[in-house]
Amino acid sequence: MSETIRVLLVDDEEDFYVLTRELLAGIPGNRYEVDWVGSYDAALGVLEADQHAVWLVDYRLGVHDGLELMREVINRGSKAPMILLTGQGDHEIDMAAMKIGASDYLPKDHIDARTLERSIRYALERVRSQESLQVSETRFRSAFYGAVPGMALTSMDGRLLRVNRSLCDMLGYSVAELLVKSFQTLVHPDDLQASQRLLETLMGGERPAQMEKRFVHKRGGTVWTYWSVSLLRDQRGAPLYFLSQIHDLTERKRTEAALRQSEELLHKAQKMEAVGRLAGGVAHDFNNILTVISGYATMLSKKLEGDPELQREVDEIQTSADRAATLTRQLLALSRKQLLNPKVLDLNLVVGGIEKMLRRLIGEDVELRIQLDETIGRVKVDPGQIEQVIMNLAINARDAMPSGGKLTIQTASVVQERPGQLSEGGIPAGHYTVLIVTDTGIGMNDEVRSHLFEPFFTTKDRDKGTGLGLATCHGIIKQSGGYIHVYTEPGHGTAFKIYLPVVAGAAEDIRPAAGAGIVQSGSETVLLVEDEDPVREFAVRLLREAGYTVLEARNGNDALRLLQEQASRKIDIMVTDVIMPQMGGKELADQLKQLRPATRILFVSGYTGDALDNSGVLRTGAAFLEKPFSAARLTQKIREVLTNGAAKRR
């Protein structure tokens, strides 16, 4: 499609104007309209109208020359291309014109229609190309600098040529700071080789390449990104620049890490729950069996006092039963289903009370240091369980120091006024007594540390560890409302910190009662209700040998019938299992209170906390004894209830 092109000829010779007009008129295709001015000043006069697509400027214009005119026209902002008309052999003038900004130069003596048309056409095409390039540049700059992702234009050797504000904000630098850096200095060292391989791959193809990549923030942190890079080439296909688009993935990575951590915690919780269900499922039957084994072993040991050899063998049976009972409690502690008997106590007294035992446990190769803070507050925990925690940690420390070392047990007082004030996370604000157990052993790497509190996880030989010690500690502390944290490094030992909330009140006496371990006799009448025949038979035999009169029943219904049959008989105490078929111990006790309000009640059970909570027994504050119990413990508890009523649990 043809167009009209207006041409301005600046020449002091009218004849050349006529010639030019005739030459352009004979060119097929576009239509040319030629205007003519004969001087420098006249040319500037028509400049304001800006009506001409191209200027033809003669070099000789009288007082001024064509170079001066071209310079002035360009200075005034004209974008129209200018072609200088010169005499033959004016090479220096031609070069000067090109430096000023001329599109072309033509010798006047050799101009023909074809040469003139080509020069005008090329000049206009060049202008259009420049305008298109400027539009593209404007669009590029707008897209580049206004992009939400980080943008970077780099040279082939990695020098940063352009960056946008998003990239500056992402990495913490100003524009000026980034433009003196190379791309390589910003990349995380671990990703540098992979980045270089990606660029090498890009050099051999046309499509953009992508990868997840880490950069280093100005403050030193890691910035996770999704990096997409394209190769820009010139018209000949030679590589010019790398154009990078960088999406910040740091927050997404944090979210993914938090999700993974939550999933791991859920998995661990489910594992704990599974162990708890397993332990809870077998605990009742196992505790009944252990009660019988332990009870008869105690009775048999007493009868064999004259035969030390046989007595030692029976004592081994008792020791094994005690170990089995401890294992059951450990399994229940993992899932926080064991029964606790918390007391307000001074943790310093607990540590001091087991110091001798600890020294025997750790052996002579390990130096034990006790550092107790006298200002610590009281805590409410089960004394036996916190002793178990300390001993488990001491054993773990001993095993981590096969060539000897130092074991330090400390107490301290810590007040956290706001959450997050302590270096340990997840601890609410409050006043805490802290138990710190530190060793100088081999330490642990991150992989071992991440599994430290998992049940059955151990780095010890199969015959040296069950993988329950630390998991038990974790369960006990969590069930007690505390927090446990570990600090360790390979070759630099390990420190466990246990935070227990401080409570008000005076410390209770946790010393063993006088006569502990001795079967106590009595002459009262006992109603024993137990659905497990071996347990009932053992208890009946034990109590009768201890001087008690014993009435026995297999369940609640049998007990009520017996009470009706023995209506005139005084019954001093009823010892009843909690969970029984037909009628449980709680329902039986409620009816007994109506029939015989003066009769004391002692509940016993081998079930876990959940089952007992559902029965409602623990909420009544009634006297309770946990299975497995020894012969001495049963008679002591009966004596305690007969003397003091529903005094203490367990």
What residues pair up with 498 in beta bridges, in sequence order?
435, 484
Could you tell me if 118 and 200 lie in one domain? Answer: no
Contact 239, 156 (CB under 8 A): yes
Query: Can you give the CATH number for the domain in which 382 is found?
Result: 3.30.565.10
Report the pLDDT value the prediction gives residue 474, as an integer from 0 to 100: 81
- Has residue 72 been placed in a domain? yes
Report the pLDDT value the prediction gives residue 246, as an integer from 0 to 100: 92
Helical residues (DSSP H) of 33-159, grouped into ranges: 40-47, 66-75, 91-100, 113-146
Report the pLDDT value the prediction gives residue 43, as an integer from 0 to 100: 87
Half-sphere exposure of 151 (CA within 13 A, CB side): 15
Could you tell me if 470 and 557 lie in one domain? Answer: no
Contact 509, 460 (CB under 8 A): no
Mean pLDDT by 10 residues, the chain (650 residues): 84 88 84 89 87 89 88 89 81 86 85 87 84 72 78 91 91 93 92 90 82 93 92 85 91 89 79 69 76 83 80 83 74 62 88 88 89 93 87 88 92 81 71 93 82 67 61 82 89 91 81 66 93 91 93 92 90 91 87 91 78 58 82 90 66
Distance CA(70)–CA(90), nearest Å, equals 17
Could you tell me if 325 and 429 lie in one domain? Answer: no
Report the pLDDT value the prediction gives residue 650, as an integer from 0 to 100: 47
- Has residue 12 been placed in a domain? yes
- Has residue 513 been placed in a domain? no
Number of domain units in the chain? 5
User: How many CB atoms are closer than 10 A to CB 568?
Assistant: 5
Nearest-5° Cα angle at 281, 279 to 286: 75
- Has residue 639 been placed in a domain? yes
Could you tell me if 154 and 100 lie in one domain? Answer: no
Whole-angstrom CA distances from 101 to 38, 73, 84, 116 are 22, 10, 10, 18
Could you tell me if 223 and 267 lie in one domain? Answer: no
Question: Of 248, 270, 301, which one is at a domain's C-terminal end?
Answer: 248
Distance CA(403)–CA(414), nearest Å, equals 34
Could you tell me if 285 and 425 lie in one domain? Answer: no
- Domain with 192, as residue range(s), is 147-248
Report the pLDDT value the prediction gives residue 173, as an integer from 0 to 100: 94
Could you tell me if 182 and 202 lie in one domain? Answer: yes
- Has residue 518 been placed in a domain? no
Question: Of 333, 364, 396, which one is at a domain's C-terminal end?
Answer: 333
Question: Of 219, 248, 277, which one is at a domain's C-terminal end?
Answer: 248
Could you tell me if 359 and 435 lie in one domain? Answer: yes
Could you tell me if 37 and 164 lie in one domain? Answer: no
Could you tell me if 9 and 124 lie in one domain? Answer: yes
User: How many CB atoms are closer than 10 A to CB 324?
Assistant: 17
Q: What is the pTM of this model?
A: 0.53
3-state secondary structure of 567: coil
How is 367-434 classified by DSSP, letter by letter? Answer: EEEEE--TTPPEEEE-HHHHHHHHHHHHHHHHHT-TT-EEEEEEEEEEEESSTT-SSSTT--SEEEEE
* Crossing angle of the two packed helices 40-47 and 66-75, in degrees rounded to 10: 20
Could you tell me if 191 and 325 lie in one domain? Answer: no
How is 277-331 classified by DSSP, letter by letter? Answer: HHHHHHHHHHHHHHHHHHHHHHHHHHHTTT-HHHHHHHHHHHHHHHHHHHHHHHH
What residues pair up with 503 in beta bridges, in sequence order?
378
DSSP state of 78: -
Report the pLDDT value the prediction gives residue 581, as an integer from 0 to 100: 86
Could you tell me if 9 and 86 lie in one domain? Answer: yes
- Has residue 534 been placed in a domain? yes
**Which amino acid is residue 296, in one-letter code?**
Y
- Has residue 650 been placed in a domain? no
Query: Can you give the CATH number for the domain in which 613 is found?
Result: 3.40.50.2300
Contact 370, 407 (CB under 8 A): no
- Has residue 515 been placed in a domain? no
Query: Can you give the CATH number for the domain in which 185 is found?
Result: 3.30.450.20
